[in-house]
Structure 1
């Protein structure tokens, strides 16, 4: 750092005048440990900041990935639950069947596993377990679904009709998203064609 001219003995002398050559040599010798200490503090702070940032970022990244997977699989999961209800399963059996379907419904099934585990291992009433999971899940869509399901459970409403309505809603939403994606792709395709033909048109006009 001395050779690069970033730090000089005069810089670290804090303006203390050197009364003699011996004093100047002493100050110059003292700057070496000072530079080491300063460098250690700077690079140590940078390392701590990067390490702390990584520790904070990893759980957030995992939660975001889980949220995306839950939202992606939720529509099919609701359809599966509707099929179970049509097959005659009660509310608790539907929750248990969803919890066992992790090979198909991934993170959504794991959310239902948490509900089932609460009831089986901690003796929690399944209504309270559903309420708890609705507050803990990283997905806002699943949280709203569980909240609405809990309302049906508490009111003694028709679970089969509720799941049918949710299934239809998710199917409409998925269809709208697909249409939006196709329209966007068509727009980019038209832009690409226009831009690819532009050089040909320019050369024709110039000739």
Structure 2
């Protein structure tokens, strides 16, 4: 998938159902992540981080750069760009943000807004090794193919079943909220739904 094709599918007027999130009974802590898109030789991939293994929360898990909103952040987009700069060294001026996906609530009581943005190439990263152990890329076509999404059903306290998504790429496993963000993006630009939609250019 090329960048132009991705953009034409992303900017449409359809209402896309989000994936089930965790039903918080009161307001969660606001947070944001960036879903970094890379274009190499006309093809797209997405960048993921592997969190450092000494961290107290989510150690060793695959994630997107991001975190909780700080009082100094003007908005959640500022949060996503600041955290991306701090974690992997990409300056906000090197990111073309094209939009965001719906808010997603997590079991750790965060209300996360994922932003989608293209990172300027060539890619120059400076990792904060206190938070990020390494990074890796996954082809976008692989991520958006639901045949590569595995579902594990868990039962909540109210006996309601809830899907947890997993996406395996070589020796890495993307799961939890990060995989849910990818799943929502897949829903958003699905070619079968897109073909019958009214698009905005």
TM range (shorter): under 0.3
Which structure has the higher relative contact order (CA within 8 Å, separation 6+)? Answer: 2
Structure with bigger gyration radius: 1
- TM-score (structure 2 length as normaliser): 0.22
Give the structure with the larger strand fraction.
Answer: 2
